[in-house]
Chains A and B, each alone.
Chain A
Amino acid sequence: ELKVEQNPLFLSMQEGKNYTIYCNYSTTSDRLYWYRQDPGKSLESLFVLLSNGAVKQEGRLMASLDTKARLSTLHITAAVHDLSATYFCAVEFMNSGYALNFGKGTSLLVTP
């Protein structure tokens, strides 16, 4: 069974702090995506990770991929309130067509 598990599911952190969100998946993957969703809004693509060891950074967010461990991380550096949102990882599994399998999401709240 194809599984994508994120943790934590809820995260409250203070501005200025660092934290990491984890995404584990159950079998070999072609690609891994990170999306951001604000309440009542659509999904915004943040990162696409294509190969083992891939690391991408945009502002205070950095995503990495370890295909051997079947693990991706989304690291938040010096959080600010504007980062409050729900973050989803999604995995494109080999032999599943083009369907993305999503984790349940991590609801992040950044407080002053």
Chain B
Amino acid sequence: NAGVMQNPRHLVRRRGQEARLRCSPMKGHSHVYWYRQLPEEGLKFMVYLQKENIIDESGMPKERFSAEFPKEGPSILRIQQVVRGDSAAYFCASSRGDSPLHFGNGTRLTVT
């Protein structure tokens, strides 16, 4: 029973490039959440999605960041024109909606 799968585990991008982070939820889970963790900090909520719908994006920066969870395939967190301040660990979590979140291993983004 595979858990939440995130890839890549590590991603290096130069300033101005695009970063795409992928997340496949646990089997049977249709709710996906993205969180960002800065060094020495807790996780900050970014966005909550269900299949083909964004439910809550109150934690997403207004520019350069977008997320989707298509009918088929993984959820994607996309960061355009990355800047150094985007360097962080990005965690995806999934649930059935009424159950605790299960977290993936994260994608560690480094912007050089």
Residue positions of A touching B, CB distance < 8 A = 4, 33, 35, 41-43, 45, 48, 88, 90, 97-105
Interface class of chain A by DSSP? strand
> Bound state CA distance, A4 and B43, in angstroms?
11
Q: Are A41 and B105 in contact (CB under 8 A)?
A: yes
Known: A41-B105, A42-B103, A48-B100. A98 touches B48 (CB 8 A): yes
Q: How large is the interface on B (under 10, 10 to 19, 20 to 34, 35 or more residues)?
A: 20 to 34
17 CB < 8 A contacts A-B: A4-B42, A33-B100, A42-B91, A42-B103, A42-B104, A43-B43, A45-B102, A48-B100, A90-B43, A97-B48, A97-B55, A98-B31, A98-B48, A100-B43, A102-B35, A102-B43, A104-B40
Q: Are A45 and B45 in contact (CB under 8 A)?
A: no
Task: Point out the residue from A43, A88, A101, A105 that lies within 8 Å of B45, measured CB to CB.
Answer: A101
Residue from the set A100, A103, A105 with the largest chain B CB neighbour count within 10 Å: A100
Specify the chain A residue showing the minimal Cβ separation from B102: A45
> Bound state CA distance, A38 and B88, in angstroms?
16
* A-side contacts of B58, CB under 8 Å: 97, 99
The number of A-B residue pairs with CB atoms under 8 Å apart is 54
* B-side contacts of A33, CB under 8 Å: 100-101
Q: Are B33 and A99 in contact (CB under 8 A)?
A: yes
Specify the chain B residue showing the minimal Cβ separation from A98: B48
For window 1-50 of chain B, which residues contact chain A by CB distance below 8 Å? 31, 33, 35, 40-45, 48
> Bound state CA distance, A99 and B33, in angstroms?
8
Specify the chain B residue showing the minimal Cβ separation from A104: B42
Query: What 4 additional pairs, Cβ within 8 angstroms, besides A41-B105, A97-B58, A98-B31?
Result: A98-B95, A100-B101, A102-B35, A103-B42
Q: Is B73 an interface residue (CB 8 A)?
A: no
